[in-house]
Amino acid sequence: PQEQTLILFKPDAIQRRLIGALLSRIENKGYKIAGLKMLQVTPELARKHYEEHVEKPFYPHLESFITSAPVVALVVEGPDAISVMRTMMGSTNGREANPGTIRGDYGTSRQMNLIHGSDGPEAAKREIPIYFQDNELCEYSLSL
Protein backbone atom coordinates (compact mmCIF):
# COMPACT_ATOMS: atom_id res chain seq x y z
CA PRO A 1 0.00 0.00 0.00
CA GLN A 2 0.87 3.66 -0.39
CA GLU A 3 2.30 4.71 2.99
CA GLN A 4 3.87 7.65 4.77
CA THR A 5 6.65 7.16 7.34
CA LEU A 6 8.47 9.51 9.71
CA ILE A 7 12.21 9.57 9.11
CA LEU A 8 14.77 11.46 11.20
CA PHE A 9 18.38 12.08 10.28
CA LYS A 10 19.84 12.03 13.77
CA PRO A 11 22.40 14.50 15.18
CA ASP A 12 25.34 12.27 14.21
CA ALA A 13 24.23 12.33 10.56
CA ILE A 14 24.02 16.14 10.62
CA GLN A 15 27.39 16.53 12.35
CA ARG A 16 29.01 14.12 9.89
CA ARG A 17 27.59 16.11 6.95
CA LEU A 18 25.60 13.14 5.67
CA ILE A 19 22.30 14.94 5.01
CA GLY A 20 22.82 14.93 1.24
CA ALA A 21 24.05 11.36 1.10
CA LEU A 22 21.09 10.02 3.09
CA LEU A 23 18.56 12.15 1.21
CA SER A 24 19.98 10.89 -2.09
CA ARG A 25 19.38 7.30 -1.09
CA ILE A 26 15.73 8.04 -0.42
CA GLU A 27 15.28 10.00 -3.66
CA ASN A 28 17.21 7.44 -5.71
CA LYS A 29 14.96 4.71 -4.37
CA GLY A 30 12.02 6.56 -5.92
CA TYR A 31 10.22 7.76 -2.83
CA LYS A 32 8.54 11.11 -2.54
CA ILE A 33 9.55 13.65 0.09
CA ALA A 34 6.20 14.87 1.43
CA GLY A 35 7.70 16.95 4.26
CA LEU A 36 11.18 18.14 5.20
CA LYS A 37 12.60 20.33 7.99
CA MET A 38 15.57 20.82 10.27
CA LEU A 39 14.87 21.33 13.95
CA GLN A 40 16.40 21.09 17.38
CA VAL A 41 14.75 18.34 19.44
CA THR A 42 13.97 19.48 22.99
CA PRO A 43 13.88 17.09 25.96
CA GLU A 44 10.09 17.46 25.96
CA LEU A 45 9.85 16.49 22.28
CA ALA A 46 12.27 13.59 22.88
CA ARG A 47 10.05 12.20 25.64
CA LYS A 48 7.04 12.42 23.35
CA HIS A 49 8.78 10.71 20.44
CA TYR A 50 10.47 8.02 22.54
CA GLU A 51 7.46 7.47 24.82
CA GLU A 52 8.02 3.70 24.89
CA HIS A 53 11.69 4.07 25.87
CA VAL A 54 11.38 6.73 28.61
CA GLU A 55 11.61 4.15 31.40
CA LYS A 56 14.47 2.19 29.85
CA PRO A 57 17.95 2.40 31.37
CA PHE A 58 19.43 3.82 28.17
CA TYR A 59 16.85 6.64 27.89
CA PRO A 60 18.96 9.40 29.51
CA HIS A 61 21.72 8.72 26.98
CA LEU A 62 19.22 8.61 24.13
CA GLU A 63 17.74 11.95 25.21
CA SER A 64 21.11 13.66 25.52
CA PHE A 65 22.16 12.29 22.13
CA ILE A 66 18.99 13.22 20.24
CA THR A 67 19.08 16.77 21.69
CA SER A 68 22.83 17.26 21.11
CA ALA A 69 22.53 18.85 17.63
CA PRO A 70 19.69 19.43 15.17
CA VAL A 71 17.88 16.66 13.34
CA VAL A 72 16.35 16.61 9.87
CA ALA A 73 12.79 15.32 9.91
CA LEU A 74 11.13 13.95 6.80
CA VAL A 75 7.87 12.38 5.80
CA VAL A 76 8.70 9.83 3.10
CA GLU A 77 5.87 8.55 0.96
CA GLY A 78 5.40 5.66 -1.45
CA PRO A 79 4.65 1.97 -1.84
CA ASP A 80 5.37 0.12 1.43
CA ALA A 81 7.44 3.10 2.53
CA ILE A 82 7.44 2.05 6.21
CA SER A 83 8.97 -1.41 5.81
CA VAL A 84 11.16 -0.54 2.82
CA MET A 85 12.72 2.38 4.69
CA ARG A 86 13.36 0.03 7.66
CA THR A 87 15.12 -2.36 5.27
CA MET A 88 17.18 0.47 3.77
CA MET A 89 18.19 1.62 7.28
CA GLY A 90 19.44 -1.79 8.43
CA SER A 91 19.59 -3.18 11.97
CA THR A 92 19.65 -0.79 14.93
CA ASN A 93 23.28 -1.57 15.72
CA GLY A 94 25.64 -0.39 12.99
CA ARG A 95 27.95 -3.32 13.72
CA GLU A 96 25.16 -5.77 12.92
CA ALA A 97 23.60 -3.88 10.02
CA ASN A 98 24.29 -5.37 6.60
CA PRO A 99 26.57 -3.64 4.10
CA GLY A 100 24.40 -1.83 1.59
CA THR A 101 22.13 -0.49 4.34
CA ILE A 102 22.50 3.05 5.64
CA ARG A 103 23.64 1.96 9.11
CA GLY A 104 25.74 -0.85 7.66
CA ASP A 105 27.57 1.52 5.33
CA TYR A 106 28.08 4.51 7.63
CA GLY A 107 28.32 3.49 11.27
CA THR A 108 29.45 1.15 14.03
CA SER A 109 27.34 2.50 16.89
CA ARG A 110 24.11 1.23 18.42
CA GLN A 111 23.06 4.62 19.78
CA MET A 112 24.49 6.99 17.17
CA ASN A 113 22.85 5.09 14.36
CA LEU A 114 22.23 7.99 11.98
CA ILE A 115 18.58 7.54 11.12
CA HIS A 116 15.18 6.81 12.62
CA GLY A 117 12.21 5.35 10.78
CA SER A 118 8.74 4.52 12.08
CA ASP A 119 8.61 0.80 12.82
CA GLY A 120 5.02 0.21 11.68
CA PRO A 121 1.79 1.87 10.56
CA GLU A 122 0.69 2.66 14.13
CA ALA A 123 4.05 4.28 14.90
CA ALA A 124 3.97 6.30 11.67
CA LYS A 125 0.50 7.56 12.49
CA ARG A 126 1.65 8.62 15.96
CA GLU A 127 5.06 10.04 15.01
CA ILE A 128 4.28 12.11 11.90
CA PRO A 129 2.07 14.64 13.78
CA ILE A 130 4.76 15.01 16.48
CA TYR A 131 6.99 16.61 13.86
CA PHE A 132 4.64 17.96 11.15
CA GLN A 133 1.41 19.91 11.01
CA ASP A 134 -0.98 18.89 8.22
CA ASN A 135 -0.21 22.07 6.26
CA GLU A 136 3.52 21.28 6.28
CA LEU A 137 2.99 18.16 4.18
CA CYS A 138 2.93 18.64 0.40
CA GLU A 139 1.04 16.79 -2.29
CA TYR A 140 2.57 16.82 -5.73
CA SER A 141 3.32 14.60 -8.69
CA LEU A 142 6.76 12.99 -9.11
CA SER A 143 6.78 13.14 -12.92
CA LEU A 144 6.99 16.27 -15.08
Q: Is 10 annotated as a binding residue?
A: yes
Q: Is 116 a catalytic residue?
A: yes
Q: Is 17 annotated as a binding residue?
A: no
Contacts of 123 (CB under 8 A, 6+ apart): 6
Q: Is 126 annotated as a binding residue?
A: no
**Distance of closest approach, residue 97 Cβ to ligand CMP, in angstroms:** 12
Q: Which lies closer to ligand CMP via its Cβ, residue 30 or residue 120? A: 120
- Helices 81-89 + 19-29 axis angle, to 10: 130
Q: How far is CA 10 from the centre of its chain?
A: 7
**Distance of closest approach, residue 49 Cβ to ligand CMP, in angstroms:** 8
Contacts of 34 (CB under 8 A, 6+ apart): 4, 75, 76, 77, 137, 138, 139
- Sites of contact with ligand CMP (CB under 6 A): 53, 58, 61-62, 92, 110-111, 113, 116
Pick out the residues of the known binding site. Answer: 10, 58, 86, 92, 103, 113
